[in-house]
Amino acid sequence: MLRAILVGSTAATVMLVIAAVFFCDQGDVAAIDREARKQYDLGKPEEALATLEAGLKRFPDSPKLNYGLGTLLAARGNLKEGQRRLEYAVTVSPETPEYHKELGICYLQADRPTDAERELKTVLKLNDKWPEAHFYLGLVYERQGKSDLAMEEYVKEVNVNSCCTFAWAKIFEADKSRTEKE
């Protein structure tokens, strides 16, 4: 009976996850990352956070774990610490476009459009077919009042992935606005 109570509780789950992290092999950062993603996907962000924090105690220099924690913290509104973790991941692993994309989004959320633009352009230098980077760069340009550049980015996103509904909405909105002015 005691086992059933412990297994069902959030605190017990967190403790089991932390124990699993500390007993994994030295090179098992990917397993920690997978476990954190699984917990998050199951709607357990606290467990995901605990998994990443425990993993970083064991592997503090891991760009993957810093990226995961930074992304989760930023999504939960802790932009300052999220940025710090993402900046570390980008510094250690500058050739990883996903890290630059998340840092760019974090900067956009923190109203740092110049920094966001730089990071999103870096993504596109590393991989010019990254649809989300085009979309978020379009948002940056919109906030900067550069509607023509924003529209170019939305069109690029749609050309890379025609299923991007947000970009289509931006394009239709701009087209409707233009038609009403004429």
pLDDT tens, position by position, 108-159: 999 999 999 999 999 999 999 899 999 999 999 999 999 999 999 999 998 8
Alpha helices in the chain (DSSP H): 2-8, 10-22, 29-41, 45-58, 63-75, 79-92, 97-109, 113-126, 131-143, 147-160, 165-181
Percent of the chain with pLDDT over 90: 69
11-62 tens-digit pLDDT? 545 444 454 544 455 459 999 999 999 999 999 999 999 999 999 999 999 9
Top pLDDT among 154 and 176 is at 154
DSSP 42-89: TT-HHHHHHHHHHHHHH-TT-HHHHHHHHHHHHHTT-HHHHHHHHHHH
Give CA–CA dist 71/99, Å, rounded. 9
Q: Looking at the predicted structure, is the pLDDT value of residue 179 above 70?
A: no
Contact by Cβ (8 Å): 60, 86: no
**Within the chain, what is the greatest distance between any pair of CA atoms?**
74
What would be the CATH architecture of the domain defined by 128-182? Alpha Horseshoe (1.25)
Write the class of the CATH domain 61-122. Answer: mainly alpha
Q: How far apart are the first and last CA of the chain?
A: 74
58-103 tens-digit pLDDT? 999 999 999 999 999 999 999 999 999 999 999 999 999 999 999 9
Give the residue extent of every domain in the chain. 1-58, 61-122, 128-182
What count of other Cβ atoms lies within 10 Å of the Cβ of residue 156? Answer: 20
Q: Which residues contact 15 (CB under 8 A, 6 or more apart)?
A: none
Give pTM, 2 decimals: 0.78
User: Residue 60 is which amino acid?
Assistant: P
Q: Given pLDDT bands bounded at 50, 70 and 90, which one contains residue 162?
A: confident
Using alpha carbons, select from 44, 41, 69 the residue that is nearest to residue 56. Answer: 69
Q: Given pLDDT bands bounded at 50, 70 and 90, which one contains residue 2?
A: very low
Sign of the Cα pseudo-torsion (38, 55, 87, 110, in order): positive
User: Residue 72 is which amino acid?
Assistant: L
